[in-house]
Structure 1
Amino acid sequence: MLQRSLKHNTILLIITIFIVAVNMRPAITSIGPMLDIIRDDLSLTNAKVSLLTALPVFCMGLFASLAPLLNRRLGLTRSMYLMLFVIGFMTALRGFYSNYASLLISAIIIGIAIAVMGPLLSAMIKQSFPERATSVIGVYSFGMGVGSSLGAGLTAIFFESTGSYPFALGIWAVLSVAAIFFWRLSVKGDISLQHEVRENGKQRKKKDALSPWRQKKAWLYLLFFGLQASSFFSIITWIVPLATVAGMSLVQASSLLSLMMTLQIVLNLIFPMVYERFPKRRFWLLVFLTMGLIAFGLFWTGDTTLMWVSSVLMAIPLAGLFPIALLFPLDATETAEDTNEWTAMMQTGGYLIAGFVPLLIALVYDWTGDHHNTLMIFMGLFVSMIVLTFMVGEREQKVE
């Protein structure tokens, strides 16, 4: 009976992690389909309206280091309650106030909340699932993928059904209500992140470790995470304009993006299970990055059939790189507290890079008017990640 209860609690906690992760993207991706409508309704410039998607990503970088601080001050459980409430409240606010100031403020505060939640979830997974962390990270990344697709795909449908973009943006607050409910069910009391190391079934005090900011490997993780996040946000942002310039209709280009994101969601769940069985990080990274370069080459041809093939191939690195990047801090650390600090550092710098690169692409395109330069930037990101793959090295095998 006790074993059955423990299994039930474990399943419930995994479901909760999934639902919490789903909350970490719709408030950002739901803005995209409404950009033109918001711009016209509020008489905004393209630069102003683009800040609604750029600022949350910058905030996800700037404020990720708040996670260890809030964990020490409030504890993980109360911190997660607070962040879920903040996301829900600020998202719901969009449904009642449709002015630019409220949209901008909500974008910033939601970005800060997501920044805090990411490292805390990784640390919790490290502590609660020490033997199955890879698979549970897969559930986490799968949830984020589902959230991204829901926000991008259903917001326009809500708008068409109601004629109200504030409603279409604010409806996503219901996800936070669901997450708070499941968090209440599955998490009893406050979770205290371990700062001790278990050896031979006994606890010993962890030796004072260097701050990740003073370790070369942590900086390599930061750069890799930044480049893969830049690739994701840049490709999602620019793949439709690239396809339309190459001759596709807007409907075809949007369908191409939908196909890519749908495949990515499925692969987000499958790949981490594969990593657990075949844990050679470098091998998988090189496979995914090579596939990405091939996909860019096919897209460059401008041939419609090859562009569809490219979208299928591109879904593979988009799905595979993010879970491996999330696993880097788990591989390098011994305790959940260290995982929290390493993940916070990685995401702090990484999301700052990711917020800058899509804007760089926009500037280059405005200057040159040639999307071949956009593809060259994409390829440059992937070549840089190949170099970093060799610098990071293989996963360290810890001696039990």
Structure 2
Amino acid sequence: MSLRIPKHNAILLIVTIFAVAVNMRPAITSIGPMLDIIRDDLSLTNAQVSLLTALPVFCMGLFASLSPFLNRTIGLTRSMYLMLTIIGFMTMLRGFYSNYISLLISAIFIGIAIAVMGPLLSAMIKQSFPERSTSVIGVYSFGMGVGSSLGAGLTAIFFESTGSYPFALGIWAVLTIVGIFLWKVSVKRDMSVQQEGIGKVEIRSADAVSPWRKKKAWLYLIFFGLQASSFFCIITWIVPVVTDAGMSLVQASMLLSFMMTLQIVLNLIFPIVYERFPKRKFWLLLFLTMGLIAFGLLWTGESKLMWVSAVLMAIPLAGLFPIALLFPLDATETADDTNAWTAMMQTGGYLIAGFLPLLIALIYDWTGDHHYTLMIFMGLFVAMIILTFMIGERESNKASLKTGE
């Protein structure tokens, strides 16, 4: 554990990282269960309503590079306060204004806030917990899994209880109050992501190469984009896919809730396993193979097999993201480098991820057949298998830096 953090504050900081991470998904995943409701109420096409999930993901890519800039100008502490406030305000706005324009504006600003928070949290973990980065990344990933599951699973329940989808979307602003409070309690001074030392900075400033010029960083970017695409596509379209196959909306919501609940548990377990058995290639191939089997079972349209598919689907959804988050930590030595690599990976990755759910919507508007949706899902996983062989096993930081990979 880093000497920068007193031992009595370390646990509180980890709890805070969890609480902040929880806020980074409900505003996106809460749209999926309400997709058909919003579309019918506002007389939208599938492509138009899909923008409510695609736009924040696009923004998470476009604005990820703001993270290092804000760290240098106003610091990590103020940046996190600002971003949490934006998420809270824009989510609350959905509860009062249900027109399409206000939903689009909130989606854009929420995406920008998440874009800044992601690289800063990864870099802070690298700096504050250098010897326990994998475990704390697990807490970070677990927090986002909890947020995803809450948004996907409870939004339909709020809607059924109140009959108001604006309320069901806006209620998630409450989570930001908890995040801001814990951040204030645990981070009592200005904090910025810093280099390791003056001498090291001078040496690295002469030899440093931007991650945008490194092959390994580009492989990480593409892989991150494909795994993020699979997550947002599945969360957004799993309910329409299974209802199209004959499930009721209630059954489909239960299937999604079950899948996301299982993902929550696995989000916490997998990073601990990775720390003891750090064979990235083995885990990636195992998870991706399970995903392909899950899509095959989903294709059958049989109710019992679709439930089995949900179990298998939860495994790659929980396992791929924390491994992708660990890529920049594996390849870098300092928190500042981790911030730069993560910002690059998420910039390009989320641009890819924002495009795919929209593509599915356009194809479904054109064909009216979700078999094409499943074909896209399977194509994403096949592409990630190919990338896994190209990335290879984890390398030591120094070796990776020397080769420029």
TM-score, length basis structure 1: 0.92
In 1: Cα distance, 2:151 partner to 2:201 partner: 45
**Where does residue 62 of structure 1 map in the other structure?**
62
In 2: Cα distance, 1:359 partner to 1:161 partner: 30
Q: In the TM superposition, what are the counterparts of 1:1-400 in structure 2 within 5 Å?
A: 6-196=6-196, 205-208=202-205, 209-398=208-397
Q: Which moved more, 1:289-298 or 1:349-358?
A: 289-298
In 1: Cα distance, 2:168 partner to 2:51 partner: 19
Q: Which moved more, 1:329-338 or 1:184-193?
A: 184-193
In 2: Cα distance, 1:175 partner to 1:240 partner: 25
Q: Deviations over 1:280-310 (max 9, x none)?
A: 1111111111111122222223333222212
In 1: Cα distance, 2:289 partner to 2:197 partner: 38
Q: CA deviation at 1:253?
A: 2.6
Specify whether residues 118 and 48 from structure 1 end up closer, same or farther in structure 2 by C-alpha distance, changes over 3 A only: same
Contact in 2 for aligned 1:197/1:335 (Cα 8 Å): no
Q: CA deviation at 1:369?
A: 3.7
TM-score, length basis structure 2: 0.91
Q: Which moved more, 1:107-116 or 1:161-170?
A: 161-170
In 2: Cα distance, 1:346 partner to 1:306 partner: 35
In 2: Cα distance, 1:152 partner to 1:165 partner: 13
Specify whether residues 160 and 378 from structure 1 end up closer, same or farther in structure 2 by C-alpha distance, changes over 3 A only: closer
In 1: Cα distance, 2:170 partner to 2:245 partner: 35
Contact in 2 for aligned 1:268/1:319 (Cα 8 Å): yes
**Residue identity (%):** 83
Secondary structure, in 3 states, of the residue corresponding to 1:247?
A: coil
Q: For residue 185 of structure 1, what is the amino acid of its counterpart? A: V
Q: For residue 48 of structure 2, what is the amino acid of its counterpart? A: K
In 2: Cα distance, 1:334 partner to 1:101 partner: 44
Q: CA deviation at 1:237?
A: 2.1
Q: Where does structure 1 lack aligned partners over 5 or more consecutive residues?
A: none
Q: CA deviation at 1:40?
A: 4.3
Q: Where does structure 2 lack aligned partners over 5 or more consecutive residues?
A: 400-405
Secondary structure, in 3 states, of the residue corresponding to 1:196?
A: coil
Q: Deviations over 1:144-203 (max 9, x none)?
A: 1111111222223333333433333222222111111101111121223122369xxx96
Q: CA deviation at 1:41?
A: 4.2
Contact in 2 for aligned 1:196/1:206 (Cα 8 Å): no
Contact in 1 for aligned 2:138/2:271 (Cα 8 Å): yes
Contact in 2 for aligned 1:195/1:206 (Cα 8 Å): no
Cα RMSD (Å): 2.2
Q: CA deviation at 1:276?
A: 0.4
Q: CA deviation at 1:206?
A: 4.7
Count of residue correspondences: 394
